[in-house]
Amino acid sequence: MCSGAVLGASQALAWEPTKPIEVVVPFSAGGASDQMARTIQGIIQKNKLTTQPIIVVNKPAAAGGEAMLDIKDSAGDAHKLITTSSGIFMTPMTTKLGVSWTDFTPLVMMAQDAFGLWVNAKSPYKEPKDLLAAAKDAKPALKVGGTGSKREDQLLVIAMEKASGAKFSYIPYPGGGAASTQLAGEHIAADTNNPSEEIANWRGGATRPLCIFSPKRLPYDAKVVGDQSWGDIPTCREKGLDVSYEMLRGMFMPGKVSPEQRDYYVGLFRKVAATDEWKDYMARNALVPDFREGEAFLEFLKKDELHHKDLLTQAGFLAAN
């Protein structure tokens, strides 16, 4: 009887959501973060992993600052989540926004996201060195597009400049889809999109990759375009451009929630990550497998924050105190 009573008490203490769960996306609809949130939404609902509906809400204002402030102001609300990327460090560092990832409750890192150096399919550039050589002689400077200002895409362009001595004109767009459209229309020379943001135009024959900025080739052998797989794309380092970067794709909830509430969502996303649908999504979009939770995720966040502070300092993007 004693053990049964203990079991009953344990079950009574377990927490589950009692109303719809809101997933805030700090970027516009259609981007990589939005795609991930809606994929997770579909997986949870299809597999009935929770009894409550999942509602995805886009709050892209102020480079994601609106979404971050919303989560900060929602302390204690266990029915609200945020999916985010490296912007969780970069937006506060490049603005005077009074928020930090430490105001939130980290749940899991679902994966890391790669970036590629993409050109128009008709361009004469076959390797990064061709683009860099042209950039050194170009007047006016060659245009390279990316998502937003003082964000990952622009940091990659600055890193390319420092590694090669070339100079580019960086053109910020509202999202990777817009940058890809401009590249397909030959309005810019290159972009630094995530694979998921460029795959449609690559498949359509309008753009093509020169290299991937990841430390090693992407772990996917299935053919994506013609006889090419994601794994066939060389790293930029392989091609003589010594620039490497990957971006976290993580889930957080507001601060001041209970351990039981946090553990519920960690378990939920662990189940999501184990589904075939999630694995297929990862492969289609060339996400780098890297699921982390608990202390492993916390340690990653601490190191990644310092890494981004260093990158932003070198670029001169840190907000003045």
The residue type at 73: D
Same domain, 107 and 122: no
Alpha helices by DSSP H, listed for the chain, are 2-13, 32-46, 65-73, 87-94, 128-137, 152-164, 176-184, 195-203, 259-273, 276-284, 294-315
Asked if the structure places residue 176 within a domain, the reply is: yes
pLDDT of residue 29: 82
Domain end marker among 232, 255, 282? 232
Residue 226: exposure state from Cβ atoms within 10 A (0-12, 13-18, ≥19): exposed
Which residue range is the domain that position 86 belongs to?
19-112+247-315
Per the structure, how many domains does the chain have?
2
Successive 10-residue mean pLDDT values, the chain, 321 residues: 41 81 90 90 97 95 90 98 94 91 97 97 98 97 94 96 97 90 98 94 97 97 95 98 97 98 98 98 95 98 96 92 65
Whether pTM exceeds 0.85: yes
pLDDT of residue 321: 65
Same domain, 120 and 182: yes
Helix (H/G/I), strand (E/B), else coil: 248: strand
Rounded to an integer, what distance in angstroms lies between the CA atom of residue 318 and that of residue 167?
A: 21
Same domain, 99 and 122: no
Q: Is 186 left (phi over 0), alpha (psi -120 to 50) or beta?
A: left
Asked if the structure places residue 6 within a domain, the reply is: no
